[in-house]
Amino acid sequence: MKINVLYEDNHVLVVEKPLNVLSQGDNTKDKDLLTMVKEYIKEKYNKPGNVYVGLVHRLDRPVGGIMVFAKTSKAATRLSKEIREHQIKKYYLAIVEGIIEEDRGTYCDKIKRLTNGNSIISKDGKESILDYEVLERNEKANKTLVKISLKTGRHHQIRVQFSAHSHPLCGDQRYGKEDKKQIALYAYHLEFIHPTTKQELIFEKLPPKIDHWTEFTVSKYVH
């Protein structure tokens, strides 16, 4: 599988994570994006031995979108610091079941990660906050297109919170309805300060026009 590189220099690599590909390896032994990036660098620059690539954030396996990788340990340290200090801005597009009446809002819940790989809303969980903005409502399909900004980064946070607030993500087979279509969640916008040049870098990418995405004019909201 060829990876789509959006930006590359000596310090960082910005790529589009394909749908249904792991961010990093797990016990399934399926091909993961971190390994693919290492192979890409090794082949492109004809590097012998192991290649360093720093994973500084993740996306759930079924979710596609923009990710940044560090090509040096210094870049990884600085990007990780940006994430901890909420300087890296990540925005998601999602299509949810039902019509959200409010034009914008905030979900504040406590999320607990379970040993079975799921997460739930629980009073002994960790504080989880996200902001959302309604971009478009499709009354006929009874679905809403939203833009989401995470204030915290909990396991399956977007999926768990929207499900808990009666608007599960379309195509979410874990927290939503039985749906054989692709989950309608995409990390479409990423902006960060370059770890070395200190330049602000901004990237946007449209989700693939398949399944639930065909029911909205998503291109109106992505530059």
Cα–Cα distance for residue pair 165/16, rounded to 1 Å: 29
26 assigned to active site? no
Name 44's Cβ contacts closer than 8 Å, sequence gap at least 6: none
**Can you give the chain as a three-state secondary structure string?**
CCCEEEEECCCEEEEEECCCCECCCCCCCCCEHHHHHHHHHHHHCCCCCCCCCEECCCCCCCCEEEEEEECCHHHHHHHHHHHHCCCCEEEEEEEEECCCCCCEEEEEEEEEECCCCCEEECCCCEEEEEEEEEEEEECCCCEEEEEEEECCCCCCHHHHHHHHCCCCECCCCCCCCCCCCCCCEEEEEEEEECCCCCCEEEEECCCCCCHHHHHCCHHHHCC
Which of 32, 60, 109, 172 is catalytic? The answer is 60
Cα–Cα distance for residue pair 222/204, rounded to 1 Å: 7
Residues with a catalytic annotation lie at 60
